[in-house]
Every structure is written in structure tokens, then in C-alpha cells.
Structure 1
Amino acid sequence: MASRGWLPEPEAVHRPPPTLKIIRYTSRFLLATTLRGDDSELAQRLKRFESSIATSRKAYRLGKFLGGVNTLRRTRLHGPYGALEWLAAGGDTVYYFTEQLTWLVKAGLLPDRLAPRFSRVSAWGEFVSYLGSITLSLLRISLLLEREAALRAELQRQQAKQAVAAATGVAQTRRQVQQQGGMVLAVSTAAGGGLLLPAAAGDDDDGGGSAKALATEIRLLRAQRYLRTRGLMQDLADLLMVLPDIRSSSGKPRGVLEHPATLALAGLVSGCLGAYKNWPGR
């Protein structure tokens, strides 16, 4: 099977700490389910807490757009899938730069009337970034599956060849014994001996080592595919949260995908996947 080649590795996507994300969207999930429509003191405190975390996450992103600028400088536009990498990095840069302006509005340095415009530009930048990242992830997973299928076919071919060679070697040894007079070599049971046959042609170290190398590479490809799939799921969850922001809605959810509980759950999924990826020892 001919391979289309490997996609270059992307620059690391700058993400806020998953701990803050998990705490924030846990609060939003509680406000959208258990405390929905509740005007108690607990609900009001939780709303203020969630808003404070959102502002803290924006402050954490200060200066992160420079990472996107460096990525754009290093990415070759005419290279393999360079346009998609530029799309992802460019959207990421616009998103983080606009988030700084949004934070300045919340801090009181810029007028509040600019907040909706900044929010819209930020959402579109994030949408473009995830669109490019998701497309690249799908292409990489496709290439990993293609390479894994080719290695599996080669491994099965080698195993079948070794099995045929082993059976042929045993048959040849038996014919040699029969040609020498059909004598059966009896060995004392107490000595624990037996008839020693020559090694089969397919059991040499070279063939066995090649099969082991193929099996090891298949396991590594499977692990990479698992990581790519997990990253794809995280991007899809984040993309789901962006969609309501880029639609000109009246502020009311248009369906189950825009329900506050659904969006909060998507944020929790994304945060948990990010925490698992950054877990110590992994």
C-alpha cells in the first residue's frame, strides 16, 4: 500500500490551565441544572465565582498570541498542508489577541460598548482555529490508520511465511530420518531426552526480529492514534462551545446543542481531556 507521506507535527496549541476550565464549567453546569432559575444566595455566589474564573482565564492568556505569531513565521505556506496549518495558527493568534482586548474591557480600561465586537471577532478566530486543527487531526488519523493497515498486512505475510517455512522444515527433517533407514531413536525416559530436530527455516532470528519490530511499530502507531483521537474529541467539544457565539442569536438557546447544560458539559469534557493529557507521569 502506497503511503501519502506523513504530515508535519503542529506547534503546540496554547490552552489555559485545565484546572480553571474544569472548575468554571462545573459551576456553569450546576447553574444550568441544579440551580437553574434559583435566586438564592448560593446561586448568586456561584455566578460571581464563575465570572471571576472567566476573567482570570482571560488574564492568563496575556501575551499568548505571540506564540501564534512565531508559529506563523515558522510554518511554510507552500509545504504539505501548510494552508491548514496557517489557518489553525492564524485563527489561534486572532483569538488570543482579541481575548486580551476583552480582558481590558472587563478590567475597565476600554469602554464596554466594544465588548460585543471583540467577543464576535474572538469567537470567529477560535472557530477558524478549531476548524483547521480538526481537519489536520482527521488527516493525521487517516494516515496513521493507513500506515497501521499496511504494517498489519506485512506482519501477517511474514507470520504466514514463517509458518510455512516451519512446516516445511519439519517435513524435510522427517524425510531425512526416514531416508536414513527409518530408525527411531529411543531415549530413556529417566534421562528426559527426546529427538532433537534441526531448527526450522522460518524460525531464524532475522525473521522473528523483523516480526517483533513490526508489532512494536504497530503498538506505537496505535498509541499515537489514541492521542490524536483524544485531541480531536477535545477540539470538537471546544468547537461546540464556540458555535453559539458566532451565530447571531437573541441570547436564547436555539436547540439542545446550545442549551447551557450542553455547553457546560462540553466544557467539562474538554477540561477533563486536557487534565488527563497533562497528568504527571503521562
Structure 2
Amino acid sequence: MDGVLLSFDIAGVDATGGVGAQGLDLSDAVRRMEEYIPQVIVEAAVERFIIINNTQKSFTLTTTSTMNDTVDKLVIFLAKRDGIDKLVKTFQYVSKLVNWQVETTHPDLANRFKQWEVSSGLGRKAFRTGRFLTGFNGLRRNPGATPTFKFLAVLANAGEMVYFFFDHFLWLSRIGTLDAKLAKRMSFISAFGESFGYIFFIVSDLIIMKQGVEAERKLIALQEEEENSKDAKEKIRKIRGDRVMRLMAVAANVADLIIAAAEIEPNPFCNHPLSLGISGLVSAWAGWYRNWPS
């Protein structure tokens, strides 16, 4: 409304700055414009703020409502290095099992799956470039709460660092960048470091799970004495959740230990395609569970 009145006021001013038909001089019109323009700017800014605020609220509600969406979780999972590694590891050992199953009946198909297995294995080695730094950084940042755990962490991470470091040379020798004769030696050193580290990771997880069981029993006893103890219930829930994750870690490490043993000391059990295939899938799927977004 003020804008309409203002336009009428300006229309009443002649081009020479004199007084028009409505008797309004130029200075009065300018004053009215100065009063009106800031008001328009403020109103526009307020309207813009309301629109942006409503948009942000809508986005927040949408994000919250889709937190449990499987596709969103899959995208997050595959964005992680461990996530893509577990997916390709699944490809690797599924193709190994299929190759073993159809090797005698469908040689051509078996050869295709063998190529898929080899390609997946080499791809995983490429993805693990620089992975040995993870163990080093773990020791540097969080070596353990007690001397026992520090000792176990040093041994476990040292073995893992050897595994991932020499795995680089194994990969380069397998693809032909380095002498192919190095592959067998690099494979042995890498597998030895892997198995050495996994033993101490398993021991560490078992000790923590044992401590968790003892703490849970105490909390259950406390909960029976004090009814409706929300704090105790929450602690029990966290202990059980941690135990499940550590069980998955132990399962994965035992499975990988079998695979490493097949390389270090070949034997009919560990080197059987069925043993290797199942072990690889157990390790991969335990990793899926541990890395899947909650």
C-alpha cells in the first residue's frame, strides 16, 4: 500500500523539481522513498529467512527419516576402504567356491570365475596401499590402557604392519612390475606377519570379552538390588553390543588365520578350496557386520 501511495506522490512532482498537482515537493518524495526502501529490504530479508529456515527444517526431517534407509547405509559403507574391501573379498571367495564346484563339469565357466577370483585378489591388494600405517598410527595414538594390552597391541599391530607392508611387494610381483620370482617369498613373509598379528588380536579381544562378562554380572546383580536402574541397563546394553562386535572380530581373525596358514604351511585342510572359500566369506561377512553403519 505504501508503494502505491509513494508512486502517486512521485507522480505529483514535475520534472523541474517544482510542486505538482498534489502539492508535494521533491524533498518530501525523496524522504518517503528513504523510509520505504529499508522497509522493503527488511521484509524481503525476513521472508527469505523464513523460506531458508523452513527448507532446513524439511531437510533435517528428511535426513532423520532416511537414516535407516538401506541404500544410504550401503553408500556410506562402500565409501569406506574397509567396506569396498569386504565387498570385493566376497566376490573373491564366492568365485573361488564356484570355480571349485564347476571345475570338472564346466571348465570354461570355471576359468572365468578363476579369473574373477584372481582379479579380485589383486584389486584388494591395490586398495590396501598404505594400510600398514593404520597399525603404526594405532600404536602411536592408542597403544592400550594397561601394560598387558600395550604389549598385546605392539605385537598384534607389528604383525599386521609386516603383513600389509610386504603385501605391496607381493602385489607388484604378481602384476609383473617386480620380478615374479619374488611373489612366493613376499607371500610367505606377508602371511607370516598376518598370522602372527591375528593371534594377538584374538587374545586381546578374548580378554576384553571376559572382562565384559564379569562387569555384566556385577551390573545384573546391582540391577536386581536397585530396581529400574536405567544407568545399569544402558551399561549392560553397551557391554553386550561391544561383545558382539568383538565376536565378529574374533571370527574374522580366525578365518583369516586359516587362510594365512594355508600359505605358510600348506596342508589338506587349510588349502582345500571349500575351507578357503568358507573362511574367506566368514571373514568378509564379519567385516560387513562390523563396518555396516548403525
The residue number in structure 1 matching 2:124 is 57
Number of aligned residue pairs = 212
Pick the aligned partner of 1:246 from 254, 260, 264.
264
Pick the aligned partner of 2:156 from 85, 88, 111.
88
* Unaligned runs of at least 5 residues, structure 1: 1-13, 160-207
* Unaligned runs of at least 5 residues, structure 2: 1-80
Separation in structure 2 between the aligned mates of residue 119 and residue 216 of structure 1, nearest angstrom: 45
Q: Please give the secondary structure, in 2, of the residue aligned with 1:45.
A: helix
Separation in structure 2 between the aligned mates of residue 260 and residue 67 of structure 1, nearest angstrom: 31
Kindly indicate whether structure 1 or structure 2 has the higher relative contact order, using CA contacts under 8 Å at least 6 residues apart: 1
Residues 2-26 of structure 1, C-alpha deviations (whole Å, 9 max, x = no match): xxxxxxxxxxxx8561100001100
Q: Please give the secondary structure, in 2, of the residue aligned with 1:254.
A: coil
Note the 1:5-84 alignment, pairs <5 A: 15=82, 17-32=85-100, 34-38=101-105, 40-74=107-141, 76=143, 79-84=147-152
Larger C-alpha radius of gyration, 1 or 2? 2
Deviation, 1:278, is 2.4
- What TM-score, normalized by structure 1, do the two folds share? 0.70
1:153 aligns with 2:221: yes
- What TM-score, normalized by structure 2, do the two folds share? 0.67
Amino acid paired to 1:119? S
CA 1:212–1:66: 2 relative to 1, 3 Å: closer
Q: Please give the secondary structure, in 1, of the residue aligned with 2:247.
A: helix
Deviation, 1:81, is 1.7
Indicate if the aligned counterparts of 2:163 and 2:194 stay in contact, CA closer than 8 A.
yes
Q: Please give the secondary structure, in 2, of the residue aligned with 1:112.
A: coil
The residue number in structure 1 matching 2:247 is 229
User: How high is the sequence identity, in percent, across the aligned residues?
Assistant: 33
Q: Please give the secondary structure, in 2, of the residue aligned with 1:239.
A: helix
Identify, as 1 or 2, the structure richer in helix.
2
Amino acid paired to 1:234? A
Pick the aligned partner of 1:218 from 196, 214, 236.
236
Note the 1:97-246 alignment, pairs <5 A: 97-159=165-227, 208=228, 211-246=229-264
Amino acid paired to 1:135? V
Amino acid paired to 2:107? S
Separation in structure 2 between the aligned mates of residue 219 and residue 73 of structure 1, nearest angstrom: 30
